[in-house]
């Protein structure tokens, strides 16, 4: 059972995997599969994020993923968290914003924290 002292840095996924907004969706999906992760940081300014759910939604909408780029599905200007943020506050942010992934920033992007990381830690 996690406690109030557990911080983002204690459970975040590193290294942070990045992808270009110009990359094809199939490439993003392959990286997620190969690395066993469900989100990638997109190298835009400000940064964006692409998740497996974004790709799944596109497939469910019968969009032709062969013609889609990361920039077509990514979420722009994502919220970020510092590595020292307590998990309780991080979980509250995810709930408030309705999101499941947050890039972790400490001068640079250093990791990713997901709602499943937090759930696994807090139970």
Judged against a pLDDT cut of 80, whether residue 65 lies above it is answered with yes
Which pLDDT value is given to residue 1?
44
The most confident of the ranges 5-9, 11-15, 22-26, 62-66 is 22-26
**What's the pLDDT tens digit per position in 15-34?**
899 999 999 999 999 999 99
**What's the pLDDT tens digit per position in 36-48?**
999 999 989 888 9
Which pLDDT value is given to residue 18?
95
Q: Residue written as tokens 């995997």?
A: 17
Which pLDDT value is given to residue 42?
96
């Amino acid at each position: 059972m996690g406690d109030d002292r557990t911080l983002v840095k204690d459970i975040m996924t590193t290294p942070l995997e990045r992808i270009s907004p110009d990359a094809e969706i199939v490439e993003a999906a392959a990286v997620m599969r190969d690395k066993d992760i469900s989100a990638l940081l997109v190298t835009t300014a400000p940064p964006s994020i692409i998740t497996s759910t974004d790709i799944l939604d596109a497939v469910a909408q019968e969009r032709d993923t062969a013609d889609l780029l990361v920039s077509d599905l990514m979420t722009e200007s994502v919220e970020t968290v510092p590595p020292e943020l307590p998990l309780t506050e991080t979980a509250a942010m995810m709930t408030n914003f309705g999101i499941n992934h947050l890039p972790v920033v400490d001068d640079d992007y250093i990791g990713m924290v997901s709602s499943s990381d937090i759930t696994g830690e807090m139970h």
